[in-house]
Structure formats: C-alpha cells, structure tokens
Amino acid sequence: MRVKYNQKDIDYLNENNKNKLSFEDFLDKKSSFFDSNKELFLEIGPGKGKFIIDLASKNLDKNFLVVELNKTISGVALRKIDESKLSNIKLMCIDFYKLSDSLKEGIFDGIFLNFSDPWPKKRHTKRRLTSPNFLKAYNKVLKMNKYIYLKTDNEGFFDYSLEQFLNAKFKLNYLNRDYKEDFDFDALTEYEEKFLSKGVKIKKMIVEKTEETNCEII
C-alpha cells in the first residue's frame, strides 16, 4: 500500500491509546483482550481498516486484532477504528513477524491475509506473508481446525501461497479464482473495491490447520 509519510497520522497513533496495544502492553498483559472468552481473530496488514471495521460491526460477539507495520497507515486505521465506536477491535503497530515469537500458542480462531504485498522478486520471498517462516508462526498461534482466509488480486502470489500451504499440509477447504464477496463472514477491503471496479478477478482461498499440518517439513 503506497501511503506518504504523514506526521499528523503518526501523532494520532502516538496520542490515542483506547484501541491501541503497544508491544509493552501486550507483554505485560495489560489488556484483557487476549483472555476474554470471545473468539479472537487476527488480520495482518489491515491497511486503512475498512475490512475489519465492517466485519467487526457484523460480529460484535467476536474480538479482532489488527497488526499493521506502517505507522502512517496505522494512524489512519486507528482513527477509523476509534470513530467506529466499536470496542471489539484493537490495533498493534508492529511487524507481525516480530510479534509472533511472543504470542501464546493457539490463541487465534482465524487469520485474515487480505491483498498482502506480493513481493514478486525472488530475493524478497521471505517478506511474503505466506513464506515458510510466516506459516510456522501461523501454525503456532492458530487453534486446531481453524482457518486462514486469504484474498488477493495477484495470481502469482496466490499460486505461491497455495503451494506453501499445501507443502505444510494445511487442508484446502475453499478455492475460487473469481470470488465476489458471497460469504457471510467476510467484508470488502479497500484494495478489493479498487480491483473489482477495474474488473480484476479476486482470488480467495481458505485453508485449515489440522493434525496433519507440519511446518517443519517446508
């Protein structure tokens, strides 16, 4: 997502804590968010937050954590989350990979990867959110028999991701290369709206963590 550095958005991020979790808060367990009895879902790279706000407003009985590494984008998303008045979304501004070591095993009931940066160059493979190290992290933090939901416009990233998931023996539960938001538990993202308006086909897959899943072999 190309967004210019914007000090106002970064100031907003720094000055507003109601729906933001810092890494320190998280380590000190100052938030009951992770211990609540509600199901907890993770979105990595929410961009400006449209998807998560729409999904969370339709699912008030569930909690949603968004992890976004870019400070300006996080500031924009946090403002929108605050304005939504929803209390079931928290944002952390951090690279998910840095966070994953500190996360407890099996805490998430689902993970959303929406229009992740495809990083097409081979030397950037490790940055792809479906590269083997990220899959290991997802396997750790996802509960058994729960799902990773992936949507993208990018055929190359989709095929790469499918190959990685299958190598690690995630179970493929759903695949559609011309997806038109027809799931209840879903919402349009900013990128999705843009691509649909240009006639670009959206690819979606859902994979499940099962007893067979093994990220050590990839």
Ligand X SMILES: C[S@@+](CC[C@H](N)C(=O)[O-])C[C@H]1O[C@@H](n2cnc3c(N)ncnc32)[C@H](O)[C@@H]1O
Check residue 110 for interaction with ligand X (CB under 6 A): no
| Strands 171-176, 203-208: pairing kind | antiparallel
Check residue 165 for interaction with ligand X (CB under 6 A): no
Contact at 8 Å (CB) between 80 and 49? Answer: yes
Q: Residue 27 is inside which H or E element, if any?
A: helix 23-28
- With CB under 6 A as the contact rule, the residue among 72, 114, 139, 213 that binds ligand X is 114
Check residue 68 for interaction with ligand X (CB under 6 A): yes
At 196, list the tokens: 């649909």
CA–centroid distance for 32 within its chain = 20
| Residue 117 known to be catalytic | yes
Stretch that binds ligand X, among 18-26, 39-47, 78-86, 176-184 (CB under 6 A): 39-47
Indicate the residue among 46 and 110 with the shorter CB distance to ligand X.
46
∠58-60-61 over CA atoms, to 5°? 125
Indicate the residue among 192 and 208 with the shorter CB distance to ligand X.
192
Indicate the residue among 72 and 88 with the shorter CB distance to ligand X.
72
Q: Which of 166, 177, 156 is nearest to 135 (CA)?
A: 166
Q: Which residues contact 155 (CB under 8 A, 6 or more apart)?
A: 203
- With CB under 6 A as the contact rule, the residue among 56, 65, 73, 91 that binds ligand X is 73
Indicate the residue among 5 and 32 with the shorter CB distance to ligand X.
5
What's the closest the beta carbon of residue 171 comes to ligand X, in angstroms? 24
Check residue 190 for interaction with ligand X (CB under 6 A): yes
Amino acid at position 123, single letter: R
What's the closest the beta carbon of residue 53 comes to ligand X, in angstroms? 12
Which DSSP symbol is given to 129? T
Among 117, 178, 184, 186, the one annotated catalytic: 117
Which DSSP symbol is given to 200? P
Binding residues for ligand X (CB under 6 A)? 1, 44-47, 67-70, 73, 95-97, 114-117, 129, 189-192
The catalytic site residues sit at: 117
